[in-house]
Amino acid sequence: MNSLWVSPVMPDYDSARATFSWRRERSRLAGLPDGGVNIGYEAVDRHLRAGHGEHVALCCVARDGSVRTMTFARLAAESSRFAHVLGTLGLERGERVFTLLGRRSELYATVLGTLRAGRVLCPLSTGSGAEPVALRMKAGNARALVTTREQYERKVAPIRSRLPHLRHVLLLDPGADPPADTLSFPALTRAAPDEYTVAPTDPAEPALLQFTSGTTGAPKGAIHEHEAVLAHHVTAAYALDLHEGDVFWCTADPGWVTGMSYGIIAPLTHGVTTVVDEGDFSPARWYGILANQRVTVWYTTPAALRMLMRAAPRGGDPSPAVRHDLSALRFVASAGEPLAAEAVLWGREALGVPVHDTWWQTETGAVMIANFAADPVRPGSMGRPLPGVEAGVLACGEDGRAAVTGGHVRVLREPGAQGELALRAGWPSMFRGYLHEPHRYEASFADGWYLTGDLVSRDGDGWYWFVGRADDVIRSAGHLIGPFEVESVLREHPAVAEAGVIGRPDRLAGAIVKAFVLPRPECPPDPELRRDVMAFARRRLGPAVAPREIEFVDDLPRTRGGKVMRRLLRAREPGLPEGDLGTPETTAPAGTAETSGRPAEREP
């Protein structure tokens, strides 16, 4: 059982909501000495000024398990060097620096150096192939790229001529005979001064360009300002219960918004120690890190939890919490996909603490809805809106999105009513634009609300329940079916490793539920298994919701965060439109744990 207990940051939800004001919360930030707000300053400089330079900022666990620590003072020095390099290279304020890096200390120095220097950071995932990398760099007018030689030669060198804006490529490991037209990150940073003064920064200056996962459409580039750091900081306290002295581990890929907002920015602004795992996923490695690094707050994904659950199912003896000393672990949360009730319960048994679901998007920049530390978790629910966040369920029209009539929307108040989740516009980390798509940005708002594109319901107590992405929801013979519900049930079948569910157009029903099922390696995908999985699903879901069609597959297209890319499954169906950026970030099943080196297994 977990021995550490500290009183939750937010002991009482209702009174916190009643008294909350973003303006007052601003005093939690240091702010720049000459005015303004800069994310990099909040993450690094403020701790030095407060005399905490010797606190450990990063605890990097190398592939071989060895551990190196980096203090805030050292992180300030390394990021200062990079900030100077950007000036030397002639990058203007507001120009974009891209990273194509896994989790390692140089990533932190690059991100923070870029932000402190007032340039805009755009992180890409090393799990992305050459095409998605090229498209994002082209769209974002990448001026500089920081990456490794291997990533560069595989993904960027072949398409460099298509990136005329890309002036500088900095390689962490250029080697003795560096590729043409590249610079050495170590040589440049070594030669640069290790102190940097952050210039006055308008809170409304752009800081981050972050691409969405693109599970239902082409990835969109969301633009965030320095002001967003207020929400990163505050939500890490309220939603993740981050306290002084915590050891925090966020497993998300740095190319995904969770890996940036909570893998890098939020914990550093709190001055806590962040664990940086440079290695590949395996249950033994992860439990080892939780135990050996004495992680107190852990933020991960449902995909990762599913893999751990498979390795140590409920009722197993002894549980991981007993085999590994997880007594330091106080709070566990997950984001990015619906968290099945089963995973919450598994957490309680296997980790000694329940898993708290949190809901948010690239566009929201920070957690908006969560299960909080002081409340009992409602398994299967996304939770309640954070203080300072007003959420609503909006009535939908024929197209399944919020109906806007004469500029107005209708907020549904009856418990259980389903509609589009909307957030009252104006929280600090709200995105300020979609890259090159002003009309799309405008169309995301109506009547003072930001329309999230997710369908949800809210129960009588104000807790939100996820139904599905509006674009994913299947309308079949008068039923509204969320693919996630069907996928979760299919995954519970002992022969099923993973499943992805879509609606296939049907003349009579409108759409029928079709499941792409990845069987476990030891289960042959034969007609008998198909019948058995169908019958299982019908028993659990009823005939109206269970899949009418099952296709066995040997891969499922996924994002780096482990989300099934249903738009690519739809594109496999004859007669359905292809996704316009149809490249999965990985096709690996997030559940087969053989060491094939496939990306999703390495970094769920």
Q: Contact residues for ligand AMP (CB under 6 A)?
A: 212-213, 257, 335-339, 357-359, 361-362, 382, 452, 454, 466, 469
Q: Which residues contact 282 (CB under 8 A, 6 or more apart)?
A: 593, 595
Please check whether residue 233 is in contact with residue 207, taking contact to mean a CB–CB distance below 8 angstroms: no
Q: Using the 8-state DSSP alphabet, how is residue 104 labeled?
A: S
**What is the spatial distance between Cα 228 and Cα 222, in angstroms, rounded to a whole number?**
12
Q: Which residues contact 474 (CB under 8 A, 6 or more apart)?
A: 480, 481, 482, 483, 501, 502, 503, 511, 513
In the complex, least distance from residue 423 CB atom to ligand AMP, rounded to whole angstroms: 11
In terms of CB distance, is 126 or 182 closer to ligand AMP? 126
Q: How many H helices and E strands in the chain?
A: 21, 26
In the complex, least distance from residue 598 CB atom to ligand AMP, rounded to whole angstroms: 21
**What is the spatial distance between Cα 229 and Cα 242, in angstroms, rounded to a whole number?**
15
Please, where are the H alpha helices in 419-513? Answer: 438-443, 483-492
In terms of CB distance, is 246 or 357 closer to ligand AMP? 357
Q: Which of 342, 353, 337, 357 is nearest to 309 (CA)?
A: 342
In terms of CB distance, is 152 or 359 closer to ligand AMP? 359
In the complex, least distance from residue 488 CB atom to ligand AMP, rounded to whole angstroms: 11
In the complex, least distance from residue 339 CB atom to ligand AMP, rounded to whole angstroms: 6
In terms of CB distance, is 189 or 559 closer to ligand AMP? 559
In the complex, least distance from residue 215 CB atom to ligand AMP, rounded to whole angstroms: 7
In terms of CB distance, is 458 or 469 closer to ligand AMP? 469
In the complex, least distance from residue 536 CB atom to ligand AMP, rounded to whole angstroms: 24
In the complex, least distance from residue 464 CB atom to ligand AMP, rounded to whole angstroms: 9
In terms of CB distance, is 182 or 361 closer to ligand AMP? 361
In terms of CB distance, is 172 or 368 closer to ligand AMP? 368
Return the structure tokens found at 124: 């890409």
In terms of CB distance, is 300 or 452 closer to ligand AMP? 452
In the complex, least distance from residue 275 CB atom to ligand AMP, rounded to whole angstroms: 22
**What is the spatial distance between Cα 453 and Cα 294, in angstroms, rounded to a whole number?**
38
Letter string b/e over residues 438-474, b meaning 16 or more CB atoms within 10 A of that residue's CB: eeebeebebbebbbbbbbbbbeeeebbbbbbbbbbbb
Residue 327, classed as helix, strand or coil, is coil
Q: Which residues contact 535 (CB under 8 A, 6 or more apart)?
A: none
In terms of CB distance, is 274 or 358 closer to ligand AMP? 358
Q: Using the 8-state DSSP alphabet, how is residue 349 labeled?
A: I
In the complex, least distance from residue 362 CB atom to ligand AMP, rounded to whole angstroms: 3
In the complex, least distance from residue 363 CB atom to ligand AMP, rounded to whole angstroms: 7
Residue 106, classed as helix, strand or coil, is helix
Residue 394, classed as helix, strand or coil, is strand
Cβ-closest position to ligand AMP: 213
In terms of CB distance, is 160 or 469 closer to ligand AMP? 469
In the complex, least distance from residue 220 CB atom to ligand AMP, rounded to whole angstroms: 8
Distance, CA of 89 to chain centre? 31
In terms of CB distance, is 203 or 483 closer to ligand AMP? 483
Q: What is the 3-state secondary structure (H, E, C) of 225-249?
A: EHHHHHHHHHHHHHCCCCCCCCEEE
Please check whether residue 361 is in contact with residue 212, taking contact to mean a CB–CB distance below 8 angstroms: yes
